[in-house]
Amino acid sequence: MKQVVFILSLISTLIAGCAPSSTPALTAPTVSAAATPQPLMGAFARNEYRNLFAEYLGKSDAEVQAKMDAAWDQLFYGNDDSERVYYPVGEDMAYIEDIGNGDVRSEGMSYGMMISVQLDKKVEFDRLWKWAKTYMYQSEGPFQGYFAWHCTREGKQLDANPASDGEEWFAMALLFASARWGDGEGIFDYRAQAQEILDVMLHNEDSGSDVATNIFDLETKQVVFVPMIGHVSSFTDPSYHLPAYYELWARWAERDKEFWADAAQVSREFFNKAAHPETGLMPDYANFDGTPYGTDDHKDFRFDAWRTLSNVAVDYSWFAADPWQVEQSNRVLRFLASHGINSYPNQFTLDGTPLSSDHSTGLAAMAAVAALAADREIGEPFVQALWDTQIPSGKWRYYDGMLYMLGMLHVSGNFKIYTSQ
């Protein structure tokens, strides 16, 4: 749920730019991280994914599958007005709607694609991808190669600029689709489409646009908040840091492998800097050194920052590259538990002052994912809480619902790395 102002006044003044005809190798200096991916442990190496519902709660495969089926059926094919967020369009397209805000976002479209590929739902995946390429993709102009971050249900772009996490999730979902289903033609050549996104994320500035930047800052090797010239590309969003994905791109991408390997290590180090030493909470927005950015609400732990709990734990679950991630997951879960396992607020200052009295399903789902990296006695109550949580419905079902499904996939061991390598 990006509660973001994307500077509409700038969008109205955009001028056309030119797309790069090639993607030359990056020349920015490297950081101290390993130049090539190193052997790692975790699910990637073992091809084994923990099912905490079975491991901690004793749930059977049939019980877990029934939970997953119910979530899919409700959020993708439930009642139009109160349950579903997935809406088919014509014979071969569909969109994921942010119900509360009445728009379609690259965040939700990419989440929908990831959920679809993890559940082996190729028809839904292809429908979502075709809608995104038809309506969100910038085939020309200053943001050529990027996806507009939100559109109307009819496909009209509301802002031309991208949200950086949408591109990241699109690329990862497409690579998994390529490995799981094989590549087709045109926009359904999943691997080629993913590589195109990876290229533009690092090389957009080569286009000569005087509006767009790269999605990654080449000096710090961190994802930027918005790839637009000006202050919005001078800081980051901690929830956009996805070291587990960068680690895979360092192995699978056709180009820039060294950059992606470094970016994975940089993000791990960034999390350590951004997390409050006592609560483990991270801000919505941060400077590249990990300190909170700005003075508005986003300096605090709010809706975007929920996802940092998952991002840290998934990286540990898949690669176990940083033992600090266990300490961090224990820390943040202990803090949330201190406010009541089924009642902790959904927003805090970084030092732990509640900023809301609401308890949200989306944060509960991300906390359960954190259990993948936490000690059992700390994580198990959060796994139980997710199991007991109702599938989101009503006005705010989009963000809560997408995070609920992603959380259920991770905690059940059904969010997997699909590779043809």
- Single out the catalytic residue among 165, 237, 304, 400: 304
Separate counts of helices (H) and strands (E) for the chain: 15, 7
Tell me the CB-side half-sphere exposure of residue 125, using CA atoms within 13 A.
Answer: 24
The token duo for 241 is: 């840091």
Got the DSSP string for 136-181? IB-SSSTTTTSB-SEE-TT--EEESSPPHHHHHHHHHHHHHHHHHH
* Cα distance between residue 56 and residue 247, in whole Å: 29
Residue tagged 């986003």 (tokens):
298
Closest CA to 44 of 314, 287, 407: 314
233 φ/ψ angles, rounded to the nearest 5 degrees: -105, 10
Rounded to whole angstroms, how far apart are CA atoms 82 and 67?
19
165 is catalytic: no
Chain centre to alpha carbon of residue 293:
20
**Residue 296 is encoded by which pair of tokens?**
């508005």
**Active-site annotation holds for 107:** yes
Nearest CA-CA partner of 346 in 367, 368, 377, 324: 367
97, 103, 107, 237: the catalytic one is 107
Q: Which residues are catalytic?
A: 107, 304
